[in-house]
């Protein structure tokens, strides 16, 4: 731990029953082996359930009003936005460099993951988050096709180039950072949601796959993955497996 490390009480507020964007925060806390309360997963009688998340958004008890979960409450702070929460937690959990330039770059990469996650979300909700998937399935199929053919390779290739230049096998610097645990989640999620295209593209990202395997074995993460705190992927989260969206990387390869 760095000398500036101060471990506080961490209360995470995120929708119960799914990994969602809350998982990026859980993975950082779990990698560091830090205790936290996953408040909405508590019984309603103990202040849990979705009500806890709604309550946090409506009256957070702070001037720091969030728009959407995940939300981290610690002391007087009420923080939202995955990248912002991780920027705050990084030094406290020893999950980012102490070098200022590397800290900015860690944030930059996390924000790039935020962009990628938004695009992944839009593959199943390309028209509106307030409509059911079934109401936008046709558009979703087109969106998923464009995503796996163009955007997924663009983002993964970008991160692969970064890790290929790394001497330590981490995305930034010599040590594990929260960008590594976030990339682990993205890779696990993409292989769940788009198993065909992901398998086809796997040969192009050996460095990222080695990182994924390394993170899986990290003591804090391995402990988490084998616990009941790690919910399986499901069709309520960011990464959803719908058979019709499991499109190949090159749909017209065999045509003509
Ligand atoms: N950019 C935000 C996105 C937050 C977000 O979209 N949260 C979702 C759950 S994963 C939500 O409940 N959104 C409610 C809304 O947008 O109305 C982040 O990275 O934290």
Q: Decide if 214 contacts 162 (C-beta within 8 A).
A: no
Q: Decide if 185 contacts 173 (C-beta within 8 A).
A: no
Q: How confident is the model over 141-158, as pLDDT tens digits?
A: 999 999 999 999 999 999
Confidence (pLDDT) at 4: 39
Confidence (pLDDT) at 252: 74
Integer Cα distance of 198 and 188 in angstroms: 10
Give how far Cα 190 sits from Cα of 30, 119, 169, 177, Å.
Answer: 21, 12, 21, 20
Q: Is the CB of 39 under 6 A from ligand 1?
A: no
Q: Is the CB of 81 under 6 A from ligand 1?
A: yes
Dihedral angle computed from the Cα positions of residues 53, 54, 60 and 61, in that order, rounded to the nearest 10 degrees: -110
Integer Cα distance of 249 and 210 in angstroms: 22
pTM of structure: 0.95
Q: Is the CB of 68 under 6 A from ligand 1?
A: yes
Confidence (pLDDT) at 217: 98
Integer Cα distance of 28 and 58 in angstroms: 26
Planar angle of CA 212, 213, 215, nearest 5 degrees: 65
Most informative mutation of 21, 87, 240 for ligand 1 (most atoms within 8 A of CB) = 21
Q: Is the CB of 20 under 6 A from ligand 1?
A: yes
Confidence (pLDDT) at 171: 98
Q: Decide if 191 contacts 199 (C-beta within 8 A).
A: yes
Q: How confident is the model over 169-186, as pLDDT tens digits?
A: 999 999 999 999 999 999
- What are the residue ranges in the chain where pLDDT is below 70? 1-7, 253-256
Confidence (pLDDT) at 5: 42
Confidence (pLDDT) at 68: 98
Burial of 116 (0-12, 13-18, 19+ CB in 10 A): buried
Confidence (pLDDT) at 254: 55
Q: Decide if 41 contacts 16 (C-beta within 8 A).
A: yes
Q: Is the CB of 106 under 6 A from ligand 1?
A: no
- Structural element, H or E, at residue 71: strand 71-74
Integer Cα distance of 181 and 199 in angstroms: 21
Confidence (pLDDT) at 51: 97
């Amino acid at each position: 731990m760095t000398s500036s490390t101060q471990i506080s009480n961490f209360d995470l507020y995120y929708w119960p029953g799914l990994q969602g964007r809350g998982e990026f925060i859980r993975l950082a806390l779990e990698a560091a082996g830090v205790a936290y309360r996953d408040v909405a997963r508590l019984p309603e009688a103990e202040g849990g359930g979705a009500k806890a998340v709604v309550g946090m958004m409506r009256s957070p008890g702070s001037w720091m009003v969030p728009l959407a979960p995940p939300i981290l409450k610690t002391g007087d702070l009420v923080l939202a936005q995955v990248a912002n929460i991780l920027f705050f937690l990084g030094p406290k959990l020893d999950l980012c460099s102490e070098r200022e330039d590397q800290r900015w770059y860690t944030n930059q990469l996390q924000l790039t993951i935020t962009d990628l996650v938004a695009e992944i979300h839009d593959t199943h909700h390309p028209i509106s988050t307030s409509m059911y998937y079934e109401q936008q399935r046709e558009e979703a199929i087109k969106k998923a096709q464009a995503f796996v053919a163009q955007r997924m390779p663009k983002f993964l290739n970008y991160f692969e180039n970064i890790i290929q230049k790394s001497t330590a096998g981490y995305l930034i610097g010599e040590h594990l950072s929260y960008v590594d645990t976030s990339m682990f989640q993205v890779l696990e999620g993409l292989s769940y949601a788009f198993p065909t295209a992901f398998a086809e593209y796997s040969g192009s990202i050996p460095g990222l796959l080695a990182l994924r395997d390394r993170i899986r074995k990290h003591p804090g993460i391995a402990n988490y993955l084998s616990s009941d705190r790690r919910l399986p992927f499901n069709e309520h989260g960011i990464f959803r497996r719908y058979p019709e969206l499991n499109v190949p990387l090159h749909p017209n390869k065999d045509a003509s």
